[in-house]
Every structure is written in C-alpha cells, then in structure tokens.
Structure 1
Amino acid sequence: MNALKPFFTLFIGCICFYQSVIAQTSTINIYPQQRYSIGSIQEFDRSKYIVLHATQMEHDFIGSEKLMDYVINDLDVYLGRNNGIMGGVIHRSKENPKQTGFVDPNFMETAGKRFREVEYAKKWKHTHQYESHNFEMVGGQVQFFWTGHSTNINHPEKGWTISGPEAIGDFMGQFINEFYRDKGTPISDGPIRPEYVEVINEPLWELIDGVADLSERKEPKEIFEFHNKASQAFKKHNTEVKIGGYTAAFPFFDDADFEQWNSRMKLFYDMSGEYMDFVSIHLYDFNHHHLGDNDPTTFDGPINFTGGRIEATLDLMESYSMKKYGTVIPILISEYGGRDHATEGKPWYAERDWDYMKSMSPMMMQFMQRPDHIVKAIPFMIGKAEWGRKENPYPWRLLRQEFELEGKSKKWVFTDQIKFYELWSEVKGSKINITSQDPTLLVDAYKDDNHIYVALSNLTRIPKNVSLNLLNLPKESLLKVEGKQLTLKDHQPILVLINSQLGDTYQLDSEGTAIITYTFKEEITSLVNIKETKHYSDLILQEIQASKATTYTFDKLNTTNLSSAKIRIGYSRPHGQKVFPTVRVNGKEVQVPQQLMGQSQHLRPQLFTSIEVDVPKEYLLESNTVEITFPDEGGHISSVILKELTKNNISE
C-alpha cells in the first residue's frame, strides 16, 4: 500500500569509502554460486524469524487496520504468539461437574464452536486475508494455570480451583482441538491451529525468583514435574501440536559456577526432556541494569547476551541434549530483544526504541545460523499493549499515540521499532556461502533469483568499515548495489538508504545493522553446495586446570568431500584470567582468534563465551582428538563442537 510507505525516517546518500581513523576495515568474501545448507536447510524462513508478537485476531489493530496491512503485506511480517487467549478462555470456563478441578468438556465444545463459527468466521472475517502469515503459538500464564489457583484471578470466589497439571494439560488439549479447525477444512470453519504450546510463561521467575516471601517459593523439580504431567495430559487429546517449556526467563547458566545450569536447565532436560517437543527460552540484552539493588544511581551496562554468550548458551543446550537423548531437542525462543531498567517506567521516547531494537537484528542473525534446531524466534514487540499501561504506557510497543511525540491527537502511529521490520522487509531466498575473520561482525547472505542480500551487524560500539568482495561473478553482470542501515543519529533511530557501487567500503555505525542488496541482470546459478554438519562432544562442563589439556574425541568425520572445519569452544573464565586457550588438533596447534564475539562482560560475575577456531583440512582425519589448554586455572569448558563443512558440485 504505497500511501503507507513513508512511515520510516530516511537519510539518503552514498555511505561508501569512509576511511575513519577509529574504524578498522573488515573484509568479507561472498560466494554467490556456492549454496550453503545447515543440516538439510537452505532457505531463509521468514515465518520463523520475521515475526511480530501478535495474532491474526489482534485487538491492538482494531481501528488501525491500515497499519496492520502495512506490516503484513508491505513488510512481509508473520504473526507468531498469543499468550492471552487461553487465560481468557479458562477465566470464562465452567468446572466439570463430574471431575472436580477440571474444565467442563461441554463448555469447551460450545465455546470453541462459537469462537470458530461466530468470532472468527464473522467478526474477524476481514483478517482471513492474513491467515497465510499466521504461524501462531499459544502459552499459559502462572496466574491462571498453577495448581490451586482460581480461574478467576480478580474474583477467586467466582471461579473454580485448578486441581493440578493434569487438569491444565487436559484444558489445553481440549482448547487446541475445539477452538481451531482441522487440516483440510475451509477457512470459515475457524482459525488455523497453532503449531506450539508453551505450558507456562517464565514459571521459575513467577514462582521462585520473583517471589519475595522465601516460604512461598516453589522448587524447580515441582515446576518441571508440572510440565511433564501437563504434557502427558495434553497429548491424550492432540499429538500433532508441539508442547514444551520451561520458558526460561534469564538463562545465565554460568551463574554460581554453573549451579544455575545444573539446578535448572540441566535438571529440566533430565526430568522433562522425554516429555517436551521443544525447549523454550527468553534472551534479553540490558542496555542498563539495576544490578540487583533497584537504585537508579547504580544502573550500569551493557549486560548482553548478544555475541559469545548466546553461542555458548545454545551450544551447551544442544550438546547436553545430544548427550542425554542422542538428538537435539528443538529450541524455541519465544521472546528476545532489548531492555533498559533505567528507562522502562518512563514515557515513550525514540532512543529507548533503539535501545530495545538494536539487539534484535544481531540476535536474530545468530539464531539464523541454527535453522535446523531453532523452530521459531520471536522479537518481543507488542502492538498497543494497553493491558500493560501503568503510570506510562508499556514500553515494548509497535504502536504509540501521536501526542506522545507531537500534537494532541490520540491517533495510533508506529513507534520507531517498526524500523526493524522495514530493515528486513526484502530479505529472502536460499543461503549462500559468506566468510569473515572478524568475530565482532555478524554476516549472512541469501540469493533469490537475480538478487543477493547481504546482512551485516556490528556487535561493537565503535564504527566499523566493511569491504565486501563478491567473488566469481563478472562485474558487467551487475545492475546495481543498494541497501539500508538501521542506526542511531541524534538520539533518533533512522534507516539510512545506501546508494553504492561494486567494491565500495561501507561504514557500519555503532551497533548498526545493514542489508546490502545486489541486483544482477539475470538469475545466478548455484554451482557448489556447502553443507555444514555438527559433531558434538559428550564431555560437558569440564573444569579448567592450569596448563593441563582437556581432550575431546570426534569420530566419523566425512573426509572425502571435506572443505574445511571449525572447532567451537564454549567456556567460562574468571575476570583477570587468560581469556584464550591453546588448541591442538591431532597434535598440531591451530591459530586461535584473539578477539571475543560481542561486547564486554565485565558486569557479569565471570566471562561466558564461545570462540570458533578454523582447522586446516589437512590436519583432519576420520577420527580426531582436540586438546584445549589454558595457562591458568579457573572456569569450565562448557561444550566443544566440531563443525564439518563439505563441498559438492551441483547442477540446477
């Protein structure tokens, strides 16, 4: 809808050939004719990543339908999470007269039929056009779904009391079956069934960490057993929709010398892995954090997951799952983005949108490197979120009212967070090979017909020059180079349009992300396929001892078509200790990068990160030993993964 195009702020110009004295140039090699697959996945799935935390029947877009249409149709954004609908249904529900503490099946059947045939088919008929962009998940909330709670949280005496996890699984299973249509039936029969169900949102925060009265706190084992029983009851009704948890709020696994890992996520895998179809977590960067005392004068930051901490966190989850179950239980990231304790309670202003939004692109780019294990990743951005209004509106919003910035109008308009979706609006296609030696720069690339999209994200707060080398294509086949960068200028998030030429050097601003688009005269043919395969070590959390090598073994490497390999090492280190290890592969020392991925972790109790070490293919055998040595003691090697890259010629 062209009339709605100018929602974003644009600065137009060529940003090439910046030779800043503070910005070292990073060289990126792009191989347009080398298709790259991770496991069996090659395509960029927008329904998995380019997602709004909203639903097709989104009340926040009532009266703002043109804005919804712009988001879905113009920006190609998918709808992904509804965390309120099940609470609303159980709030209105009736108790089963034959089974105390369980929902009445007659109510569920009647209410579900009305929801499908009246609410969806008639009231929300205008949204049917968006169903192709609705890949929804639903989830429970502690206040409605915990054992002993009333289904009416405002007037408990008017509700009925939840008997336990079996009752919740039974309710959720009936809800999924009754409120959504079956496959192969017409759209008028109801909304499409969700793909995923989270048992409870952030239960360890709601029932343990966020509970002031220590005597009222639950134990993780009790919460995980709740998940198991709820899942079993759910699957008596439906085995196609995936159910999982535990929706970890702050997965700082290395806290208390990995006690958080051992007593929480590892315990969840041990107790609940066989009952879960996925494991879900939330990841947030903190621009400023209260550091535990809620004193505004002590807010400090950043405290980030983005970079090496995300890699180490996800590698540990994958590695332990593989060790325990022989497979990686899929991971679902149902919330991610940015926070700032210093500003969350204040009125809206543009720079706060930047503080939340700047983490979304680099986090998403990291998730995009695990398409075989991450089933969905949803940036936390709500529509109007009037339910969260206190003295000031809820801060994580896609929409605001005009008077919050200018004038007196109560008309709803976009916050600056819309620019995240505008930045990524065109990216699609199959992944191609792209390489960088700079761990503080995230890179990715996709080919679609005669277009190549290159994504670049600066993990540092220092501007960075980037030189892009487009290899093995004649210069005369190129029609144009253009792009856009999401950055901050004069306290305002902006999209800078890029007009450029082949061979230009680009400046990535502090924490900026850019999409560079190459348009060619005709479709680009793929000649080679690069396939990435991971080999996991079953040695988890090995204590680091001074000058003593920790040895890992990797068998069954495909040496026939081997192109290259990388060793991924996740580890923790006390501050002040040596950061980088010595690494030997089959007795031969390999070069270890001397730069960490992401910003400083000095405000965390210790460093928890991951490095990736290139291994010359001539060093590798079918069976391999990897020795990792630190010169001083302290910390743990949390996981080690050998990433194998094989190359095969293809024809299209």
Structure 2
Amino acid sequence: MKLSKWIGTTIVGMSLLSTQGFAQNTITVKPTIQRYLGENTSKLDRDKYMQAHIWIGEKEDKEFEAFKSTYNINPAYKGSRRFWNPLATVKQGKKPKVKNKYKGVRDVTPFSVSTGRATNFFYDRSVDYSEADVAAYSKEMAAYIAERYQKDWPEMPAIYEPFNEPFVHAKDLYPGKGNKAKSNKAIIKISEALRDIGQAVHAIPELENMKVAGYASAWPAFEVNNFEIWDTRYRTFIDIAGKDMDMLSVHLYDGKGLNNAGGRRSGSNAEAILDMIEVYSYISLGEVKPIAITEYGRLVDDQPGWTPKNGKSNYHPIENSQAVRSQMHLAMGFMERGDNLVCAIPFSTGKQPSTKKYAKAGLWTVDKDGKAELTSRKYFFEVLKDVKGNRVHIGSDNVDIQTQAFVDGKQLYVILNNLNEETQTLNLAVEELKGLKKVETKRIKTYVNKLPQLVKDSSKEAPSTIDIEYGETIILTYNFSKNLPTKKKEYSTKYYASEYLKPIKANEANTFDFQNVTADAKGSAVLRLGVGRAHGKSLQPVVTVNGNKVTLPEDVIRGYNQHNRKEFFGLLEIPVPAEYLKSGDNKVSITFPDSNGKISSAILKVIGYSKKSS
C-alpha cells in the first residue's frame, strides 16, 4: 500500500491504485550470496510449513500417503494438530488413575501439536472461577497432566498447547451473562493455569522433548480500545506465564468470524502482531521466545441455508479455495521468520462428510459414497513442492511483492507473491546467469469468483520482466549446468528497542535506543515500526537515525491500507541507509505531525556480511 493518508470515501478508490507508477518494481537476486536469518538459519526447513490442521496418526490412509508423496512432504508426517491430551480424559474433575507404562525420557511424534479446552480444566459451570481461589487445584491438575504424559500417555506430542483459544471463551468460566471485569479476572486464572502446567511439565526430566506452547490467541486485535485488548490478554499472559512457556502461539486469519472482525491480517497487520509479541517477550522476559502459528489462513463462509444438523452440504469449491490466497500471503511472511518460528499450520482440515461444518475448510472433499478428493487447497503445497536448499540474497523495491529465493545445487528457486490489489509488472535482475540451461515457471492464480489455476511454462532464456496478479504466487526455477557456488554470506539480525507502546503526540518525538548493533556500511537496514492509529492519521513520520533524516518511500505498508478495518494497525517498513548506523548504540527518533494512537513496537533489522558481535 502506498498511500499514507486518506479521507472519507476517497480511501476506497485511492487504495486500488497501483504502485507501478511510483516504484521501479525491481526484484534483485544474487544466487551466490548465501543469506542467513540470524546467524545460523539458511536452509529452508520444509517441515515447518508443509503442514495442515489434520491428524492421521497410525491409521492406514492411501490418499494421505499419496498426498505426501505427490508434494514431497516428510514421510514421517502423521498430521499436525488435534484435540487430545490427558485433560480430555478428566470428566467433571474425576481423574483416571495413572498407570506406570513408560520409563525414561519420552520420545515425541515429530511435527505434532496436542491441544484442548480450558473448560475441561475449569469444568464446573456453577462455579465463578473469576472469583474462586483455585490456586491449589490448578497446581494439582497441572501435576496430574504432567504425570500422565510421563508415565502412561501413549503418543507424545512435540508441542503441548494446553488450551485452544481460551480467552475468547473466558465468559464460560463464570455463571450468567458475559461481564468484562469478570472475563478479565478469568483470563488471569487461565494464565495461571498455563503457568502451572508449564512448570509441572518442565519439572519432569523425562518430558524434556515435549515443549509447552500458549496461549493459542484467537483474536489478536491488540489495537482495540487503545491497546486494551493487548494489555488484558497477551501482555497479561506473558507477564504471568511467559517464562514457563517454551514458545508463544497465535492464530492469524483473513476473513470474517471469531478470529477476525473482517479485512485482512495478511501483510502489515500480521507483521505488526508478531513483532509486538516478539518485542514484549524481549522486554519482559529478556529473550525473544519462539513463535508457533498453530492455525492460520482465511475464515471461509458457511453455505447459505446450512445448519449443523440439516443434512445440507457446507462445502463449495470456490469458497473453499479462497483460503489458498491468504495462506500463501501469510506463509511468505512466516518464511522470513524461519529462525524464530517453530511451526506454521494452515487451517485446512481432514476428511469429513460435506455436511460437517469444517468441510468448508477441507483439504479433501468427500462425496456421498465416501470417495475423497483433494480440494483446491492442494495448491498451497504446490508452491513448495520442489523448493529446497539454502536462502540466497533477494530484494524487492516494492513492499507489496513478497519474495524468497533458495539455491540447491544446480537449481535456483525464486518465489514471488503479490499483495497489491493491482497486477504488477516486475523487472527481474538475476545475477550470475552463466551456464543457465532453462527456466521453469509455475503460476498459482487464485480468484474471487472462480477456481484457482495452475499454469506451467518453460524457456531457455531467463525472463527480464514478468507480470503478477493480485494474490498470485509465481515459482521460477532456474536450472544451471553446474552447481551454483557460494561466494559470500549475509546475515540478517534484528535488534529490539527496550521500550514499546509509546503514545503518539503531534510533533513530539518518540525515541528508541538500539544497543550493541553490528553495523556494516556495505549492507542495508530496515526500521520495522508497528503503529496503531485511526484512519486518516499520518503513516509517514519524520524519522532520524543518529541525527540523520531518513527519506521514506511513498509506500511503507505491506499489502493494503486496511480501509475495511475499524482502525489501522500495521507495520511500517522503512529502509534506512546503512551508513547512518554505527556499531554500538544507535538512537532512532520518530515524529508524527498529528496526535492519536501508539507506536506498538520498534525493531531495527540490519543486514551485513559479518556475524553479530558477541
């Protein structure tokens, strides 16, 4: 998105303007410069992304095995996430006896996440848990869960996420109608239970392979009520339970429903959410906790006239396919967080009759005779089907074009994804093309009113330009006669400010200090600034770095301007000349011309050719 201000109804028309007239739209690829996220992450960990919200387990399933084979998914993959854990066996507080079946350190099932419901923990609907003293009960139940996992639970998850989306169900922890004050107290009780579970699991050496995640945030609308939702939910959770979690989990969706009031999270909104979690983790816990995206994608609509028990189909192929666009938009951002991301599970569900609610989100559709067929959601897996290798340098001067590039032997893979609502013409500046044999092009086009298309082509010549439609993903495979060498290495390091959530006042500077920076005048840098503001307020602040004024591009917002959200909450991505930085401490000043909102986070991303100073 390129427009920083809009007024009234002009926003809609203005938001649809292409950035083509303002950006060069050049994609620069340097395949002999190996790229690292942090100091150690270069290789694409396919297992983090090639997942779905399904569970097959030990069942024999020919279609599932064929699916894994077709899309080069790890043969050991049994599924990602399911609602099954020891707490689910506790009925009305009555706990099954623990049996001594296993000894020693428990092995875990790779890639698997087990979750459950807070209402199984806080089970008595007649009790007002927002007021009741449940401290002793909470620790007792947490110890029981950990003991079950240690001694008699047959299949151990790699990640135990005790409660699924618990805070949006906080009103279920007390009788009567929903009450904001009571719900906020219930959130504290849930956070304390998560803390107790984390402590109980970590106290047992035999469970060292099973990691604990929380809190599976359903509705990370942190900006609502001047960031009250942040304060009463995710911040409260981190303050109480953060240090006892191995990772922090969240759900991110485009579309409209429980997880999102409408509009798109993909792009600047998702980036601001994740940056805020990282920054506060750094400030509060002294470390940036890993992140697990245990659900993401798009909330697709139920079919007209469908109800849970009326026998009508809730699957429509075009509605189902809308999630492919959102999944790819979000996954491209997640791949750029590969050094701090544990997993990213797109919400595409398993086989079920078309009359079931989540048939609408199925990776398979099942007909009346029980025959299963992959839906259009297979195209998400088509993107990474053949992609592997180490990251290499790639850059885009259009913030709406998301990019990734990898080299594996004789192949260079370039992935392009368009968040802009208009078709973009891109200039492809790929270096080191000596020995090129051919270029294979694979396009995945997603549409609003028709099924997606997979289009393949090949050429002996490297294209110099390429058009990319809104929501389209293009995979270019450059095939060379010899292995591509590594001539240089570049490292991307994030530096976190020690302050966050600073009010914006007209013409008053907010300053952020970044310490122990390793500067490289031959590299590059980006200031990642999370901002929550009312529509119509400026998104083009005056920025200085160590006293040097930074010239902002016209477009610093990834994706659209959020015109159909109640307010703007997103990330401003501001390129900073590398020569403005110095090794050691750096001071950044941010000044907006108008009052309103807050700066939610500030991260300085520095790319250079040497590792961070210890």
TM-score higher than 0.5: yes
Q: CA deviation at 1:360?
A: 0.7
Aligned to 1:30: 29
SS of the residue corresponding to residue 279 of structure 2 reads helix
How many residues in Structure 1 have an aligned counterpart in Structure 2?
562
* Aligned equivalent of 2:145, options 164, 172, 175: 172
Aligned to 1:427: 387
Q: CA deviation at 1:79?
A: 4.4
Q: CA deviation at 1:385?
A: 4.0
**Residue identity matched to 2:566:** P
SS of the residue corresponding to residue 191 of structure 2 reads helix
1:113-143 Cα deviation digits (max 9, x unpaired): 9xx9xxxxxxxxxxxxxx9994212112234
Aligned to 2:121: 145
CA RMSD of aligned residues (A): 3.1
SS of the residue corresponding to residue 76 of structure 1 reads coil
Aligned to 2:70: 74
Counterpart Cα distance in 2 of 1:290 and 1:81: 22
* Aligned equivalent of 1:638, options 594, 600, 607: 600
List gaps (5 residues or longer) in structure 1. Answer: 1-20, 117-130, 151-161, 181-189, 293-300, 404-408
**Residue identity matched to 2:98:** P
Q: CA deviation at 1:30?
A: 0.3
Aligned to 2:453: 494
- Contact kept, 8 Å, 1:429 with 1:447, in 2: the verdict is yes
Q: CA deviation at 1:374?
A: 1.3
Aligned to 1:198: 161
Counterpart Cα distance in 2 of 1:361 and 1:644: 26
* Aligned equivalent of 1:395, options 360, 364, 368: 360
**Residue identity matched to 2:57:** M
Q: CA deviation at 1:147?
A: 4.4
- Contact kept, 8 Å, 1:541 with 1:637, in 2: the verdict is yes
- Contact kept, 8 Å, 1:290 with 1:341, in 2: the verdict is no
Are 1:135 and 2:111 an aligned pair? yes
Relative to 1, partners in 2 of residues 1:393 and 1:241: Cα closer, same or farther, differing over 3 Å? Answer: closer
Q: CA deviation at 1:514?
A: 1.5
1:336-373 Cα deviation digits (max 9, x unpaired): 00013465856322211221221111211101111222
- Contact kept, 8 Å, 1:350 with 1:493, in 2: the verdict is no
SS of the residue corresponding to residue 362 of structure 2 reads coil
SS of the residue corresponding to residue 219 of structure 1 reads helix
5 Å matches for 1:523-542? 523-542=483-502
5 Å matches for 1:228-267? 228-237=195-204, 238-267=207-236
5 Å matches for 1:485-524? 485-488=443-446, 491-500=450-459, 501-524=461-484
Provide the identity percentage: 29
Are 1:213 and 2:177 an aligned pair? yes
SS of the residue corresponding to residue 421 of structure 1 reads helix
1:404-449 Cα deviation digits (max 9, x unpaired): xxxxx54111111111112221111111110011111111111111
**Residue identity matched to 2:164:** N
- Contact kept, 8 Å, 1:47 with 1:133, in 2: the verdict is no
Counterpart Cα distance in 1 of 2:200 and 2:95: 12
Q: CA deviation at 1:615?
A: 1.7
Are 1:602 and 2:563 an aligned pair? yes
- TM-score with structure 1 length normalisation? 0.80
**Residue identity matched to 1:144:** N
- Contact kept, 8 Å, 2:388 with 2:407, in 1: the verdict is yes
Aligned to 2:3: none
Relative to 1, partners in 2 of residues 1:588 and 1:464: Cα closer, same or farther, differing over 3 Å? Answer: same
Q: CA deviation at 1:167?
A: 4.5
Relative to 1, partners in 2 of residues 1:168 and 1:282: Cα closer, same or farther, differing over 3 Å? Answer: farther
Relative to 1, partners in 2 of residues 1:478 and 1:569: Cα closer, same or farther, differing over 3 Å? Answer: same
Counterpart Cα distance in 2 of 1:440 and 1:588: 27
Counterpart Cα distance in 1 of 2:399 and 2:34: 22
Relative to 1, partners in 2 of residues 1:289 and 1:230: Cα closer, same or farther, differing over 3 Å? Answer: closer
Counterpart Cα distance in 1 of 2:572 and 2:84: 42
1:212-268 Cα deviation digits (max 9, x unpaired): 822685621111011111222233332331112111001011111000111111111
Are 1:362 and 2:358 an aligned pair? no
**Residue identity matched to 1:198:** E
Counterpart Cα distance in 1 of 2:273 and 2:548: 28
Aligned to 2:194: 227
**Residue identity matched to 1:642:** L
Relative to 1, partners in 2 of residues 1:560 and 1:603: Cα closer, same or farther, differing over 3 Å? Answer: closer
Counterpart Cα distance in 1 of 2:144 and 2:201: 8
Q: CA deviation at 1:634?
A: 0.7
- Contact kept, 8 Å, 2:253 with 2:259, in 1: the verdict is no
Relative to 1, partners in 2 of residues 1:209 and 1:90: Cα closer, same or farther, differing over 3 Å? Answer: closer
- Contact kept, 8 Å, 1:146 with 1:164, in 2: the verdict is no
* Aligned equivalent of 1:547, options 495, 498, 507: 507
Counterpart Cα distance in 2 of 1:460 and 1:342: 27
1:377-419 Cα deviation digits (max 9, x unpaired): 1111111145x954x663111111246xxxxx54111111111
Q: CA deviation at 1:163?
A: 9.0
**Residue identity matched to 2:118:** V
Q: CA deviation at 1:641?
A: 1.1
Counterpart Cα distance in 1 of 2:173 and 2:327: 26
- Contact kept, 8 Å, 2:414 with 2:477, in 1: the verdict is yes
List gaps (5 residues or longer) in structure 2. Answer: 1-16, 127-134, 307-312
Aligned to 1:298: none
Counterpart Cα distance in 2 of 1:398 and 1:626: 46
**Residue identity matched to 1:227:** L
Are 1:454 and 2:414 an aligned pair? yes
Counterpart Cα distance in 1 of 2:480 and 2:172: 54
- Contact kept, 8 Å, 2:109 with 2:158, in 1: the verdict is no
1:523-580 Cα deviation digits (max 9, x unpaired): 1011110001111101111111111111112232223675222211111121111121
Are 1:105 and 2:81 an aligned pair? no
Q: CA deviation at 1:594?
A: 1.9
